[in-house]
């Protein structure tokens, strides 16, 4: 074994010679400068700064140098690598800036293009009819009262004088809300009518009381031309001293005239609701044929099916038991109430024959009713 050669030439490994390393750096910098987009620069990075790049391969040779020469060569390679890295980073910046500037130009949006060519929407006629009905009563001094759609059974039935197992509860095709533990009868229902708002109003407002309550109702009906499991009603309630059925007739007459035209007669026939006594089924004179279709030989009327009358609402004098349930003295106060279907009112007023048109959500249906605010 020979002694270490003190005058060993550190440039023994050719690839590590200063000239050679400088050549690799020059090559790399020239390639970086020549890269004209980010993809090209990526290829340059791989070729000149990757694991198989000449500088990386030269670096691997450092181990072959005698120990005394390694530090010197390591510095040289480190400096070379740093120079290449810096050049790459600078070029990357330049190319990204160029690209961003280009994208801004190429993908610019012309914000001066007309924006109002989108077809206008339209308010839903169920909303506008509900508002119109509400306005009729607000103009007579009624206040708007609202209640929850997910309602306590007590408000929807019990307080309205439906005894627990009374068949009238069944008539309402109730959707019961399951309890958190899965029990079918949690005591909560989707309200089947707007009448529970009567109870809430009587319990929370001072007397005398005049309220009108439009709102959504739910029943287990299957959707067909004349039924919808989700529909709307509007409820009216008055509680005051000395109210009689004459006042009820007056209120009904007012909304019929406002909705369907002046001079239309109304008719009350006996009916049954647990929360009103007496109860009535309200009809109005057909606003289309005004009864003419009932005469022998006359043109038939599609709207009233030649009956001359159209059923529009349920109504009655508030049952004293309901007043008592709400802490109102039935010897001093009396009340009347009525409820009508908004979809039904809409269908009668505008000759809509299929209730499904009101739930389809086709804007063309709504638009046909105009842009009423
Ligand atoms: N709530 C009744 C129904 O949905 C209608 C009604 C309201 C009847 C008010 C009388 C008084 O059938």
Q: Please compute the mean of the pLDDT values over residues 235-242 and round it to a whole number.
A: 98
Report CA(179)–ligand 1 centroid distance (Å).
Answer: 27
Residue 6 lies in a domain: no
The per-residue pLDDT for 184 is 73
SS3 category, 190:
strand
Residue 160 lies in a domain: yes
147 lines ligand 1 (CB under 6 A): no
The per-residue pLDDT for 15 is 78
State how far the Cα of 45 lies from the Cα of 91, in Å rounded to an integer.
Answer: 11
Dihedral angle over CA of 282, 285, 289, 290, nearest 10: 170
Q: Does residue 260 contact residue 254 with C-beta atoms inside 8 Å?
A: no
Report CA(169)–ligand 1 centroid distance (Å).
Answer: 13
Residue 373 lies in a domain: no
Which amino acid residue places its CA nearest to atom 10 of ligand 1? 315
Report whether pLDDT(11) > 60: no
The per-residue pLDDT for 66 is 85
Residue 203 lies in a domain: yes
Report CA(290)–ligand 1 centroid distance (Å).
Answer: 26
State how far the Cα of 235 lies from the Cα of 248, in Å rounded to an integer.
Answer: 13
pTM for the full model? 0.69
| Spatial CA neighbour of 337 closest among 242, 218, 204, 197 | 197
State how far the Cα of 41 lies from the Cα of 258, in Å rounded to an integer.
Answer: 78
Give 309's strand partners: 285
Q: 79 and 202 in one domain?
A: no
Report whether pLDDT(109) > 60: yes
Q: What share of the chain is helix, strand, coil (3-state, %, to 5)?
A: 45, 20, 35
| Spatial CA neighbour of 267 closest among 252, 254, 283 | 283
Lowest-pLDDT range of 51-55, 58-62, 171-175, 324-328: 171-175
Residue 5 lies in a domain: no
DSSP 289-342: TTTGGGSTTPPP-TTTTTSSEEEEEEEEEEPHHHHHHTT--TTTEEEEEEEEEH
Report whether pLDDT(119) > 60: yes
Which amino acid residue places its CA nearest to atom 8 of ligand 1? 314
State how far the Cα of 253 lies from the Cα of 264, in Å rounded to an integer.
Answer: 8
CA atoms within 13 A on the CB side of 246: 2
Report CA(193)–ligand 1 centroid distance (Å).
Answer: 7
Query: CATH number for the domain including 159?
Result: 3.30.930.10
- 255 versus 236: the higher-pLDDT residue is 236
Q: Does residue 193 contact residue 218 with C-beta atoms inside 8 Å?
A: no
The per-residue pLDDT for 372 is 60
The per-residue pLDDT for 277 is 97
Residue 32 lies in a domain: yes
The per-residue pLDDT for 171 is 67
How many structural domains does the chain have? Answer: 2
174 lines ligand 1 (CB under 6 A): no
Dihedral angle over CA of 85, 89, 95, 99, nearest 10: 140
Q: 24 and 69 in one domain?
A: yes
Whole-number mean pLDDT of the chain? Answer: 90
Q: 206 and 73 in one domain?
A: no
SS3 category, 9:
coil
Report CA(118)–ligand 1 centroid distance (Å).
Answer: 42
What domain range is 296 assigned to? 125-367
Q: 133 and 75 in one domain?
A: no
Q: 165 and 64 in one domain?
A: no
Report whether pLDDT(159) > 90: yes
Report CA(234)–ligand 1 centroid distance (Å).
Answer: 9
Q: 259 and 316 in one domain?
A: yes
315 lines ligand 1 (CB under 6 A): yes
Q: 309 and 180 in one domain?
A: yes
231 lines ligand 1 (CB under 6 A): no
The per-residue pLDDT for 68 is 82
Decide which of 106, 136, 159 is a domain's last residue: 106
Report CA(324)–ligand 1 centroid distance (Å).
Answer: 19
The per-residue pLDDT for 196 is 98
Taking the alpha carbons of 268, 270, 272, 276 in that order, is the dihedral positive or negative? positive
Per-residue pLDDT band for 371 (boundaries 50, 70, 90) equals low
The per-residue pLDDT for 168 is 65
- 42 versus 258: the higher-pLDDT residue is 42
Decide which of 45, 79, 106 is a domain's last residue: 106
Report CA(170)–ligand 1 centroid distance (Å).
Answer: 15
Residue with tokens 């006359």: 298
Q: At 21, which helix (H) or strand (E)? A: helix 18-34
The per-residue pLDDT for 2 is 46
Q: Please compute the mean of the pLDDT values over residues 114-133 and round it to a whole number.
A: 87
336 lines ligand 1 (CB under 6 A): no
Q: 297 and 182 in one domain?
A: yes
Decide which of 72, 106, 140 is a domain's last residue: 106
Atom of ligand 1 nearest to the CA of 195: 1
pLDDT tens digit string along 275-324?
999 999 999 999 999 999 999 999 999 889 999 999 999 999 999 999 99
Per-residue pLDDT band for 10 (boundaries 50, 70, 90) equals very low
Mutate which of 213, 283, 339, 344 for ligand 1 pocket (most atoms within 8 A of beta carbon): 339
Atom of ligand 1 nearest to the CA of 237: 9
Residue with tokens 């106060």: 333
DSSP H helices in the chain: 18-34, 38-49, 54-60, 67-106, 125-139, 153-156, 167-171, 196-204, 245-260, 320-325, 342-350, 363-367
Q: 325 and 176 in one domain?
A: yes
Q: 192 and 101 in one domain?
A: no
Q: Please compute the mean of the pLDDT values over residues 60-86 and round it to a whole number.
A: 89
| Spatial CA neighbour of 199 closest among 247, 150, 145 | 145
196 lines ligand 1 (CB under 6 A): no
Per-residue pLDDT band for 12 (boundaries 50, 70, 90) equals low
The per-residue pLDDT for 140 is 92
Which amino acid residue places its CA nearest to atom 4 of ligand 1? 193
Report whether pLDDT(50) > 50: yes
Highest averaged pLDDT of the listed ranges 255-259, 333-337, 353-357:
333-337
Report CA(233)–ligand 1 centroid distance (Å).
Answer: 9
State how far the Cα of 114 lies from the Cα of 137, in Å rounded to an integer.
Answer: 43
Q: Please compute the mean of the pLDDT values over residues 79-84 and round it to a whole number.
A: 93
- Cα of first residue to Cα of last residue in the chain, in angstroms, is 106
Q: Does residue 28 contact residue 49 with C-beta atoms inside 8 Å?
A: yes
pLDDT tens digit string along 178-229?
888 888 778 899 999 999 999 999 999 999 999 999 999 999 999 999 999 9
276 lines ligand 1 (CB under 6 A): yes
Report CA(335)–ligand 1 centroid distance (Å).
Answer: 14
Q: 353 and 250 in one domain?
A: yes
Residue 152 DSSP label: E
Q: 232 and 324 in one domain?
A: yes
Report whether pLDDT(9) > 70: no
Residue 8 lies in a domain: no
SS3 category, 367:
helix
Residue 215 lies in a domain: yes
Report whether pLDDT(329) > 80: yes
């Amino acid at each position: 074994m020979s002694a270490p050669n003190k005058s060993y030439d550190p440039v023994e490994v050719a690839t590590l010679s200063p000239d050679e390393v400088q050549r690799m750096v020059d090559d790399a910098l020239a390639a970086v400068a020549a890269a004209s987009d980010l993809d090209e620069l990526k290829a340059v990075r791989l070729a000149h700064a990757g694991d198989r790049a000449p500088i990386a391969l030269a670096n691997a040779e450092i181990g072959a140098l005698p120990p005394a020469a390694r530090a010197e060569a390591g510095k040289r390679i480190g400096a070379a690598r740093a120079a290449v890295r810096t050049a790459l980073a600078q070029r990357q910046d330049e190319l990204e800036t160029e690209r961003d500037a280009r994208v801004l130009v190429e993908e610019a949006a012309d914000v001066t293009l007309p924006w109002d060519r989108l077809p206008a929407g339209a308010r839903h006629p169920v909303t506008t009819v509900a508002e119109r009905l509400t306005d009729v009563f607000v103009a007579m001094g009624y206040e708007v009262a609202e209640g929850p759609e997910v309602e306590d059974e007590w408000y929807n039935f019990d307080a309205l004088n439906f005894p627990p197992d009374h068949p009238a509860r069944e008539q309402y095709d109730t959707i019961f809300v399951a309890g958190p533990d899965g029990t079918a009868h949690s005591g909560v229902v989707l309200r089947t009518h707007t009448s529970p708002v009567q109870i809430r109003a009587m319990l929370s407002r001072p007397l005398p009381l005049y309220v009108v309550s439009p709102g959504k109702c739910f029943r287990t009906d299957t959707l067909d031309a004349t039924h919808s499991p989700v529909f709307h009603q509007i409820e009216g309630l008055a509680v005051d001293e000395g109210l009689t059925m004459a006042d009820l007739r007056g209120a009904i007459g007012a909304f019929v005239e406002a909705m369907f035209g002046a001079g239309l007669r109304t008719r009350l026939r006996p009916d049954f609701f647990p929360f009103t006594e007496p109860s009535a089924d309200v009809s109005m004179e057909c606003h289309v044929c005004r009864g003419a279709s009932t005469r022998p030989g006359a043109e038939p009327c599609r709207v009233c099916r030649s009956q001359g009358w159209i059923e529009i609402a349920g109504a009655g004098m508030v049952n004293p038991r309901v007043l008592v349930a709400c802490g109102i003295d039935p010897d001093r106060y009396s009340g009347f109430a009525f409820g009508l279907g908004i979809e039904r009112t809409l269908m009668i007023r505008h000759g809509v024959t299929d209730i499904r048109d009101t739930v389809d959500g086709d804007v063309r249906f709504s638009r046909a009713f105009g842009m009423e605010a």
